[in-house]
Structure 1
C-alpha cells in the first residue's frame, strides 16, 4: 500500500469534529473527489479553505456561521438524530465507503474528549472496510491502517519516530525495512508496547503485514511547518 497509488477520483477527505486542526495541514491535504464534513468538521474544513460537498451528522456542534455558509453554497446535508448508536465521524466513514471511495483520509485535531478520540481511532479499523486504504491526520500525527496481507511505504525525516500497534487482536508476519529496530516476520499483541518509538534510519521505510490489523503512526509528521517555495 502506497499513499501515492490512488488518484483523485477515488479519494474521500473527511473532516472530523472536535478541536480545530492545525492550519498548516492544508499543505498536506490530498486532492479528493469527495469531501465530507462530520458535524462540526464543517467549521474545520472551512477554516482550512475547503468547501465540503456534504455534511453528515446531527448538526449539534456546528457553528451558526458555518451553517449559514453551507446553506449559501448549497452544501448537501445528510441528517442523523442526536440520539444514535454511531458517532458522526463513523457515519461519515460509512458514507464514504457507500459512495465508492477506495482511499479515505480523516482530518482531526485530536485532543478533546478521550472517548471520541478513541472511537475515531477504532472506527478506522472496521473489518468491513479492510479493502479500503484508510489513513488519518490527527494533530501532528500521520496514521495508516494496515489489514493483512498488505504493505506500506512511508517517508519522513531521518530519525523521526514510527510506532506500530496491533489492533483487533494479534498482528502476525510483521516485517520492516528502514527502521532502527527491525522486525522480521514477527507478531505483535495489542496489549504490548514493543512497537512504540521506533525510528526511520533514512528518509523512507516499509512495513509489511501477513495477517491481522496494524496501526502505523508517524507522530511527528506534521510538526514542521512547510516553507513556501
Structure 2
C-alpha cells in the first residue's frame, strides 16, 4: 500500500480533468469538502474559485498558470506512466470514501480506464458521479435504502457471483461476467431495502444520480474488500 499524500477521517472529493458540471462538483463538495485534484483537474478547480489541498498525478496536463497558482507543497508529481492519474490519486488518498467528479461523461476510453481502476483499487471505496448516474464497485455486502422501481444496474468487469434480496429479478445462481451475463436495468421490487452480496470485487453498481447519499451510506457501512 502506498504512503498517503492526504489523510482524512471524512469523505474526500477528487476532481479529474473530464466533464465536471458546477452543480455536480458542488454536490460532491457538500458531502466531502476536502478537495484533491487529479493532474489537470487543478485547472477546473481554480476556474471554479477553489484551491485543492493536493494535486496528484504525472502532472503532464496541469497548465503552467495552475502550477504557479497552487502552492508547491500541494503539488505531488508521480512520474511513472504505468497507471492513470485516477489510480495514482486513489492509492495515495486515505479516507473512508472518495467522491470522484470529472471521470464520467467524456472520452469512453477514459471512462473504461476509470472503471478498471475502481476494481483494481477496490480497497479504496470510491463513488464516481455523473450527470445521470453514480457508480461504485459493489462491496462484499451492502444494503441500499431505495424506493420501489429504482434502477439498480449491475455490470461485471470480472467473473462474479452473488445473492440479492429486494430486486425484481434476483441474482442468486447466476454466473456474471462481461462476456456472459450482465445485470443492467434491474430494479428494486418494493420500497425499503435491497441487499446485495458478492463473492469477488468485480461488480460495478450503478444507481441514478439522486441515489448518491444512498450509495454513500451503503459504502460507509459495508465491509470492504481486502
How would you bin the TM-score normalised by the shorter chain? Answer: 0.7 to 0.9
User: Which of 155, 161, 186 is the matching residue for 1:165?
Assistant: 155
1:80 aligned partner: 78
Q: TM-score, normalised on structure 2?
A: 0.74
- C-alpha contact 2:57 2:78 (8 A) present in aligned 1: yes
Q: Does 1:90 align with 2:81?
A: no
1:22 aligned partner: 21
2:59 aligned partner: 59
Q: Distance in 2 between matches of 1:195 and 1:47?
A: 39
2:138 aligned partner: 146
When residues 37 and 199 of structure 1 are mapped into structure 2, their CA distance, relative to the original with a 3 A threshold, is same
Unpaired segments ≥5 residues, structure 1: 1-7, 224-229
When residues 204 and 29 of structure 1 are mapped into structure 2, their CA distance, relative to the original with a 3 A threshold, is farther
1:211 aligned partner: 199
Number of residue pairs matched?
202
1:112 aligned partner: 106
Counterpart secondary structure, 2:104: coil
When residues 117 and 29 of structure 1 are mapped into structure 2, their CA distance, relative to the original with a 3 A threshold, is same
Task: Tell me how large the CA RMSD over aligned residues is.
Answer: 2.9
Q: TM-score, normalised on structure 1?
A: 0.73
Unpaired segments ≥5 residues, structure 2: 1-7, 212-226
Bigger fraction of residues in strand? 1
When residues 172 and 131 of structure 1 are mapped into structure 2, their CA distance, relative to the original with a 3 A threshold, is same
